[in-house]
Amino acid sequence: MEMAVKSAVLQNGETIAYRETGSGSKVLVLVHGNMTSSKHWDVLMEELQDSYKMYAIDMRGFGFSTYNQPVNSLKDFSEDIKLFVDQLGLTSFSMAGWSTGGGVTMQFAADYPEYVENVILVESVGIKGYPMYKKDADGAPLAGQFLTTKEEIACDPMQVAPVLQALENKDKEYYRTIWNLLIYTHRQPAPEKYEEYLDDMLTQRNLVDVDYSLVMFNISDEFNGVVNGTGAVRRIQAPVLVLQGDRDYVVPREMGEEIAKEIPGAKLVILPDCGHSPFVDCLDELAHHIRVFLDS
């Protein structure tokens, strides 16, 4: 099922694209990760459409959304979501964030607790962000030596510069190789859907800005090696479910464990034989845990 892409013009001048489906009294706002868009929620939305009303957004600079003003923090994305839900008149809903979207979701839940009924974090970035390290001559990361500026990040020879080149050249095969190595390691989407996902990935216009925002994200009470924590994690009041694959090669398991440790009452579920994309690796189990959590 292909969902129509709608759009909402925000007060800040950005146009946010989104997909909407489902029915029911409970509303779920879905926030995608880096290198993707709302498109990548499609199979989960189909699975849950009889249970919940869902809105999956394309964050600024992804998918069909505009990128008029560059982002410098995950809070910039969460403020877009605030403008979006106000535009649509959504005042009480649950949120699910995947990977980078998990950080955006945590920031929103900390800043606007009165809006958020439940929080679901799927292979989420941790409360201390996602560090990027300087590299030695062989490309190996240098422990304790962090990239801290957009200029440094853009020149990173392993994680960023090749991806920027692939984006410029619309090189789907490079993206396929990366995703097969890191994400679709055991299972892959159906061939036609995989091609759609790859086409979607190549729409990204904000890679360096997102990587910088992940480096600078820190809602803990501690220094993360780059910036001091804001302590915002203590303002998250909604019940939190942390879903972490046991073989996620993108987000270390320790990040999920730290989220669950630092948010009182948060529940951590380890998904067996699952990588960074449970939508592909264990869709039925993912949907089951979401239903149990939201309906309990």
In a domain, residue 186? The reply is no
> Which H helix or E strand runs over 55?
strand 53-57
> Three-state DSSP class for 53?
strand
Residue 165 region by backbone torsions, left for phi larger than 0, else alpha for psi between -120 and 50, else beta: alpha
Whole-number pLDDT of residue 237: 97
Indicate which CATH number applies to the domain containing 80. 3.40.50.1820
For the chain, the domain total comes to: 1
Query: What is the C-alpha to C-alpha distance for residues 16 and 220, in angstroms, rounded to an integer?
Result: 29
- The pLDDT of residue 1 is above 70: no
In a domain, residue 182? The reply is no
- The pLDDT of residue 259 is above 80: yes
- The pLDDT of residue 2 is above 90: no
Distances (CA, A) of 251 to 16, 98, 99, 242: 27, 11, 8, 13
In a domain, residue 20? The reply is yes
Whole-number pLDDT of residue 296: 86
Whole-number pLDDT of residue 87: 97
Q: How many residues does the chain have?
A: 296
Tell me the one-letter amino acid at 286.
Answer: L
30, 55 Cβ separation under 8 angstroms = yes
In a domain, residue 277? The reply is yes
- Percent of the chain at pLDDT above 70? 100
23-32 confidence digits (pLDDT tens): 989 999 999 9
pTM: 0.97
Whole-number pLDDT of residue 137: 86
106-126 confidence digits (pLDDT tens): 999 999 999 999 999 999 999
In a domain, residue 90? The reply is yes
The parent domain of residue 114 ranges over 5-131+218-295
In a domain, residue 230? The reply is yes
